Amino acid sequence: MKPTFCFTSLRCIGAGIVALCLWMTGVVHAQTPSAQAALLAPSGTLRAVINLGNPILARRDDSTGVPVGVSVDLAQRLAQRLGVPLQLVVVDAAGKAVQAVTQDRADIGFFALDPQRAQGVVFTPAYVQIEGSYLVRQDSPLQRNDEVDVAAHRVVVGKGSAYDLFLTRHLKQAQIVRAPTSPQVVDFFLAQGMEVAAGVRQQLEADAGRVPNLRLLPGRFMVIDQAMGMPQGRGQAASDVLTTFVQEMKTSGFVAQALLRHRIDGATVAP
């Protein structure tokens, strides 16, 4: 029997190859936005603000300088799901990320949950939990977290960070001193001769590794829920879409895999 050729099948195969190539090059993002995309990315491009001030969630790749991390992975996955291009709005502090979303210069962001921020941002449930810790000099008399809140102590935090907001509410006697950004906290703490630095445990551990005669106090002073957020006023339907996305990323194992891929220790997938 002579072999026969189905040109319809060949056309289908060819179309599939083209579609795969378009997906790999990112051109597929130019497809017509879905109804969900119209809710989350009304401009046709998903603008995601990425805060490099929190090394748990994002940092610049050492070799390329391109932002990478858990938050970047989530933004990329959401843009793929919506079928729209992704634009990263990169900032160096949490306060700037909040401003970008509240001023509608970004469609989504990645934030520590805090009631003060809820005035301009609609949050999803948390997707990651991280720890806040204190750092002191090796010769400091401080040994426990509950010894920090006395009038003689000045606690350095990143301006507008979750630690700033939390400690502003909870410290009654110690003075809070604000560094411009969270990654600058330890250098600011050392340069100004302060008593305590506060921030993400992993950032403080890294600083203690590069600067001699520093140590972290045992335990933590807070657990921080990290969530996705969007501008107020987008509506309940948009909020539901983003919430469903976050829940699926947790239950599918995507968030856990991202933490492993970026070698993040000390952070866990939120329940």
For residue 184, give the nearest of 64, 81, 83, 52 by alpha carbon. Answer: 52
d(CA 45, CA 33): 9
Q: Say what the pLDDT of residue 25 is.
A: 37
DSSP symbol at 28: G
CB 193 within 8 A of CB 131: no
* Burial status of residue 187 (CB atoms within 10 A of its CB: 0-12, 13-18, 19 or more): middle
Q: Cα–Cα distance between 43 and 48 in angstroms, integer?
A: 13
Domains of the chain: 34-128+224-269 (3.40.190.10), 130-223 (3.40.190.10)
pLDDT (tens, 9 = 90+) of the chain, 271 residues, equals 444 434 334 344 444 443 344 333 333 333 344 799 999 999 999 999 999 988 888 999 989 999 999 999 999 999 999 999 999 999 998 889 999 999 999 999 999 888 878 788 999 999 999 889 999 999 999 999 999 999 999 999 998 887 888 899 999 999 999 999 888 999 999 999 999 999 988 889 989 999 999 999 999 998 889 999 999 989 999 999 999 999 999 999 999 999 999 988 768 899 8
Q: pLDDT at position 127, please?
A: 96
DSSP 226-259: EEEEEETTS-HHHHHHHHHHHHHHHHTTHHHHHH
Which residue, among 168, 201, 208, 166, has the nearest Cα to 187 in the 3D structure?
208
The rounded distance, in Å, linking the Cα atoms of 106 and 43 is: 11
> Are 220 and 134 contacting, i.e. CB atoms less than 8 angstroms apart?
no
Q: Is 179 helix (H, G, I), strand (E, B) or coil?
A: strand
Which residue type, as a one-letter code, is found at position 154?
R
Give me the pLDDT at residue 185, please: 95
Looking only at the bridges linking them, the beta strands covering 46-51 and 86-91 are: parallel
Pick the closest to residue 176 from 191, 187, 184, 165 (CA basis): 165
Q: Which of 127, 140, 146 is nearest to 224 (CA)?
A: 127
Exposure string of 201-219, with b = 16+ CB inside 10 Å and e = fewer, is bbbbeebbeeeeebbbbee
